[in-house]
Structure 1
Amino acid sequence: MKRSECPISNCLDFVGDKWSLLIIRDIALDGKTTFGEFIESGEGIATNILSSRLKQLEAEGFIAKYPLEGKNRTGYYLTKKGIELVPIIAEMYLWGLKHGGSNTRKKFASALKRDKESAIQELTEELLKNAKALQKRSKK
């Protein structure tokens, strides 16, 4: 349910909680795809919250599932809607570095500082290519 017509409020209705953006960050910047990989992130998300956020992000169309080899496992990838958040995450990353955050993704930070627009475009293109491949795989 929309709280208001404000575009920022609308965006926050979908990804305004800490965990949703961190899951999207983990997929986009770290290549994480599984429940276990998300749990291992340094922020310490609880399993019940992670499960809830994954379901919510999938229901809202930010991520999609795909089957993994063996033991009925599932992976997640960003959809086009989720990939559209990459520029926001990049800006948040740069802001966080400027205001005391630790540079844990040196390659990404270096690319952003060198040429922000190109770095965002390259990451976006890579994620879109990956999403197309995984979408085909999940339909088999």
Structure 2
Amino acid sequence: MRESPRSGCPINAAVEVLGDPWAMLILRDMVFGHRRHFRELLGGSIEGIASNILSDRLKRLVAAGLLSQEEPVRGRRAAYSLTEAGIDAVPVMVALGTWGLAHSHGDPALRVRAEVLRDGGPDLVARFMEELREEHLGVPLAEPDRDRVGDRLAAAHSGLLARTDAG
């Protein structure tokens, strides 16, 4: 990670932090896969990230302020959490997913969450971000009895997988 940005352009600032493909995929796996530990991120990577790359990108994401890392306690693995800046990257991921839906073909099981978020619009994305704040930052939900977006995303994904396996 550079010590200073190449320019003062806000697009440059975003690209310098989020422009690395592995960084976005790690954030994706934390946001949508609920992976918080190194081994979970390594083993759950469908793109096959190498352990040295994962270690480097986690350090970069912590240094950039998108993730925080709990200090490991004896007998427990260190956990990573999204920071407010990391959660604020969710609309960027949704926009990338929406673009990918329109301009590429892929596995329906991997597309379904992007479809739900695209179709749900900004209000659904905002609710999902609130849920991430609760999970990663401990911020109580404004409406705790409301249906959870994360549950809807998981149900859509697992429902599609079940239909695919049955068919």
TM-score by length of 2: 0.72
1:61 counterpart residue number: 65
Task: State the Cα distance separating 1:60 from its structure 2 match.
Answer: 1.4
AA of the residue aligned to 1:88: V
AA of the residue aligned to 1:55: K
Residues 114 and 68 of structure 1: CA distance in aligned 2, closer, same or farther (over 3 Å):
farther
For residue 48 of structure 2, the aligned residue among 34, 44, 58 is 44
Greater relative contact order: 1 or 2 (C-alpha under 8 angstroms, separation 6 or more)?
1
Cα offsets for 1:96-119 (capped at 9, x unmatched): 12222334152x234324322122
How high is the sequence identity, in percent, across the aligned residues?
A: 36
Give the alignment of 1:29-108 within 5 angstroms: 29-40=32-43, 41-66=45-70, 71-100=75-104, 101-103=106-108, 104=110, 106=112, 108=113
In 1, Cα distance between the equivalents of 2:111 and 2:97?
10
Residues 10 and 39 of structure 1: CA distance in aligned 2, closer, same or farther (over 3 Å):
same
- Conservation of the 8 A alpha-carbon contact between 2:82 and 2:137: no
AA of the residue aligned to 1:24: L
Cα offsets for 1:16-74 (capped at 9, x unmatched): 11111111111111111111111121111111110011111111110012367872301
Q: Which has the larger radius of gyration?
A: 2
Greater Cα offset, 29-38 or 85-94: 29-38
In 2, Cα distance between the equivalents of 1:48 and 1:88?
26
AA of the residue aligned to 2:38: F
2:149 counterpart residue number: none
Aligned residues: 133
In 1, Cα distance between the equivalents of 2:41 and 2:16?
22
- Say yes or no: does 1:15 pair with 2:40: no
Task: State the Cα distance separating 1:131 from its structure 2 match.
Answer: 2.0
Structure 2: 5+ residue runs without aligned partners? 140-167
TM-score by length of 1: 0.85
In 2, Cα distance between the equivalents of 1:97 and 1:70?
44
In 2, Cα distance between the equivalents of 1:114 and 1:13?
29
Structure 1: 5+ residue runs without aligned partners? 135-140
Cα offsets for 1:71-105 (capped at 9, x unmatched): 23011111001100000000101111222233415
The CA RMSD measured in Å over matched residues stands at 2.0
